[in-house]
A and B are shown apart, each in its own frame.
Chain A
């Protein structure tokens, strides 16, 4: 394994009395696609959000692309440009066009001129197959299209790592494919990706590694085939049996 691009050590997270992450270690190599699965409430989203510090870990360390994310001297806004994030509920800005959504951070954070930002934004929309929708507002787009715009918003900043938090679970089944298609393209282009999702088919043929989380800990991890066919832990087996029945 090459040198890790994401390195999280001993992450703990408390919400008041609730101990949500109980010492998670996570290493992700460059170009690797890691899948995170686990029951609801196990801390998957919290883990992702600790990586770009949308959530402040209670203790532990997070280093992404050589930057210590938890160091108070780190320019967090600059660092976050290198870490793209895609949300379950898209979170597109409803008052802006697709292109406006994609170019906002290019202009305000990366300091591009409007013309430069528009060119880069259009290229990003092109990559997700939506260049022709650049002038549409989120309300005029389907859920699948909205999520692809959200992906374009993240990749336009040329991040080193992409975090996906259940990117397809708010979509109608017939729209899921188009989003997975874009994610597969991204993987092919060599993007490092951490994906929380229960799309088992996608995990099986795209993931390098699958991690099973339960109760704030990584219980088991390995290649998809191993985790899905021969889990060593009883909890993993039970969970996989449960989601495969659906």
Chain B
């Protein structure tokens, strides 16, 4: 057997791959579920916080800023471990899936709030004044005039950040979530062969590479032109 053959035999072992393909596929389903939950809840929560911040209620804003800073400062893995291993001591025992979802959703919430807020504040005062002078209320102006312009501005930074955080679903492995990396790792230790890991790596590329390429396109498309 040549070195090449041995390499293929080890890292791309057909028998092992066929055997563990279903595991990897089920891991992909979990990863997708996690990713969708994180993106939806994280972005929604971030937007809500940014809108609340626009109300300019002092103590509320301090609280928002603190929460945002907190989740920007802490490493996502630390948050996951804290929720998964820490909360049970307080009587709540979230599953690994829920811990990972909550942690990454909080992180995305924090980053997206910051981006949404920067977008809102970058809309010139004249836009507010023009709208208010025609009788639109604060809320109507925010929703109809300011937010559409702000969102457009925030799309490129937001897509990049969302991808970077969503990739973190792999961290779920640490708290026994059966997502791709978790499935691949246990398959490796069961089969004494690294092929499942290669499949897992390919699975991540299948899921995230299209998103990254789309993000590149979005970035050029939504570059702000007036």
Contact = CB atoms under 8 A, between A and B. Distances in A.
Interface string A12-41: 000000000000000000000000000000
Interface residues of B, number: 20
A241 interface: no
B18 to A, nearest CB: 53
A136 to B, nearest CB: 14
Looking at B132, B133, B144, B149, which has the most chain A CB atoms within 10 Å of its CB?
B133
Interface of B: 124, 126-127, 129-137, 140, 144-145, 148-149, 152, 225-226
Contacts of B135: 77-81, 105, 109-110, 157
Contact of B149 (A54, A94, A109, A110): A94
Looking at A83, A94, A139, which has the most chain B CB atoms within 10 Å of its CB?
A94
A54 B124 CA distance: 15
A121 B142 CA distance: 22
Nearest to B138: A77
Main secondary structure of the interface of B (DSSP, over half): helix
Contact of B226 (A49, A83, A105, A139): A139
Contacts of B152: 95
Contacts, number: 70
A213 to B, nearest CB: 21
A85 B127 contact: no
Nearest to A109: B135
Interface string A91-122: 11111000000001100111000000000000
Contacts of A110: 135
Contacts of A49: 129
Given A94-B149, A108-B144, A139-B226, A87 B136 contact: no
A182 B109 CA distance: 49
B133 A93 contact: no
Contact of A77 (B126, B136, B144, B148): B136
